[in-house]
Amino acid sequence: MKKAIGITGGIGSGKSVVSSLLRILNIPVYDADAASKSLLSTDPDLVSSLKRLLGEDIYEGDVLNRKKMASMIFSDKELLAKVNALIHPAVISDFRRWAENQGSSLVACESALIYESKMNDLFDAVLMVYAPEQVRIKRAIARDAATEEQIRARIQNQMSDEQKKSMSDFVVLNDDEHALIPQLQDILDRI
């Protein structure tokens, strides 16, 4: 029986760094964000459901008009919930298929939305990557070429770090002062 761990954390926390380290340790990691973007154009059921919900013109040929979708859903929380109710199950199914095809007895899934999408039930353990807010903002500004205000707005739209910490089995401190590999090795030994 395969074991699965979830990796979550807020914007700029360092989820991708932790995922990269796990890959170096030969643990396959599913990138839920990348998978969801792919599924939006490759999963025929998801595509047809989104067209029914948002209108046929949400796709230009086979390409989702992401800006149009974003402008529709981020100003309408009810519509956002409906879109997420279509996307999250597709990602969960895709993760299950992916995990079954991995040759490893331990797999991981990186997703900022593990709790929001109810994916946490898929995992034997969830580890939250934590960094102080100022560190996260600095990283996200550098990575996304965004303003501090834009990053703060994204943070406000995410579940709080305190909520995620309280729900997670493990916390990895990624504050640029504590080494990540010993923390990860300790968690892997305990899993």
When mean pLDDT is compared across 49-58, 90-99, 148-157, 161-170, the lowest value belongs to 148-157
**pLDDT at position 89:** 94
Q: pLDDT at residue 157 above 80?
A: no
Reported as type and span, the H/E element at residue 115 is: none
pLDDT at 123 over 90: yes
pLDDT of residue 54: 94
What pLDDT, on the 0 to 100 scale, is given for residue 17? Answer: 94
Is the pLDDT assigned to residue 81 strictly greater than 80?
A: yes
pLDDT given at position 150? 82
pLDDT at 158: 80
Give pLDDT tens digits for 25-37: 999 999 999 999 9
Q: Which residues of 62-83 are buried (b: 16+ CB within 10 A; e: fewer)?
A: eebeeeebeebbeeeeeebebb
> What is the rounded distance in angstroms from the CA atom of residue 40 to the CA atom of residue 50?
9
- State residue 42's pLDDT score: 93
| Choice between 9 and 77, residue whose per-residue pLDDT is larger | 9
Least Cα distance to 29 among 158, 129, 145 occurs for 129
Q: What is the mean pLDDT of residues 26-51?
A: 94
The per-residue pLDDT for range 105-116, each reduced to its tens digit, is 999 999 998 998
For 99, phi then psi, to 5°, come to -60, -40
pLDDT at 162 over 80: yes
CB-based contact 118:88 (threshold 8 Å): yes
- Based on the number of CB atoms within 10 Å of its own CB, is 153 exposed (0-12), middle (13-18) or buried (19 or more)? exposed
